[in-house]
A = this chain, B = another copy of it.
Amino acid sequence: TIIHLFKEIFKAGLELQEDNHSKALLVSRKKKPEDTIIEINGEKFGDGNQHFIFGPCAVESYEQVAQVAEQVKKKGLKLLRGGAFKPRTSPYDFQGLGFEGLEILKRVADEYDLAVVSEIVNPADLEKALDYIDVIQIGARNMQNFELLKAAGEVNKPVLLKRGMSATVADFINAAEYINSRGNGNIILCERGIRTYETSTRNTLDITAVPILKQETHLPVMVDVTHSTGRRDLLIPAAKAALAIGADGVMAEVHPDPAVALSDSAQQMDFEMFDRFMKEVKS
């Protein structure tokens, strides 16, 4: 019948549209079917193995960072995270040590042969920060700070891009495309929980975003278990789920003494728990 024919044309048109749209993106599997592998200090993100990034929420002092680095090194890990520029909800909360914090990270990283992951929040700081860090982190609150994305797209360093608090998977992929479209294709995506009505966790870990991102893009996908849950008691179960569903790695916060941490004290692991985490999670 005519109606049936019409429906078929309609469906074909629909698929055509979607097809064209996905095909256009540089980060999409349609554009590049094989996995992008990003090598950082010997770790190859996207190669099918599990990778880990640990470190304190915020850089507080040389001693604090060095203590964490020692534990990271002892476990055979290669990356260290730490916040020097801290985007905080209130202007009166600890805002991080800035470049002084990056200097501490760099010094410790050199001593322990680790690569540094740290968040940059201002496009103007990016160039200078490249001397200190190995991976540029772009945080959830800045996922649609397009000026920062463009700036990160013009440098030659891997970018760890966190999903925005209310970003759809499509928004997230487009944010990565901003970076890639400027020339930098070394992007690691990081699911970190989305904002929902549920209050038993700080955010809701959208675990199925991981296989969707792996299907739709060729980029490595990590899960930040600290910010998605906001609860120390959920870090190990969440990490197991993340790796089981196909994440390329897990990110979590470790602090020598979480109770006195200048930020996020309720959700960082101490060293005893860090040991347990690696024993239970790593396969």
Contact = CB atoms under 8 A, between A and B. Distances in A.
A260 interface: no
A266 interface: no
Interface string A216-239: 000000000000110001100110
A171 interface: yes
Interface residues of A, number: 67
A20 to B, nearest CB: 10
A89 B170 CA distance: 9
A179 B90 CA distance: 11
A144 B147 contact: no
A261 to B, nearest CB: 18
Interface in A105-159: 121-124, 141-142, 144-148
A16 to B, nearest CB: 7
A200 B245 contact: no
Interface stretch (A5-13, A41-49, A60-68): A5-13
Contact of A237 (B24, B92, B147, B246): B246
Report whether over half of chain A's contact residues are helix, strand or loop; otherwise say mixed. Answer: helix
A90 B174 contact: yes
B197 A212 contact: no
A12 to B, nearest CB: 8
A210 B117 CA distance: 31
A233 B208 contact: no
Contacts of A165: 166
A24 B212 CA distance: 35
Given A174-B91, A244-B241, A168 B197 contact: yes
A238 B197 contact: no
Given A91-B177, A174-B89, A233 B245 contact: no
Interface of A: 6-7, 9-10, 13-14, 16-17, 24, 87-92, 121-124, 141-142, 144-148, 165-166, 168-171, 174, 177-178, 181, 194-201, 204-212, 215, 228-229, 233-234, 237-238, 240-246
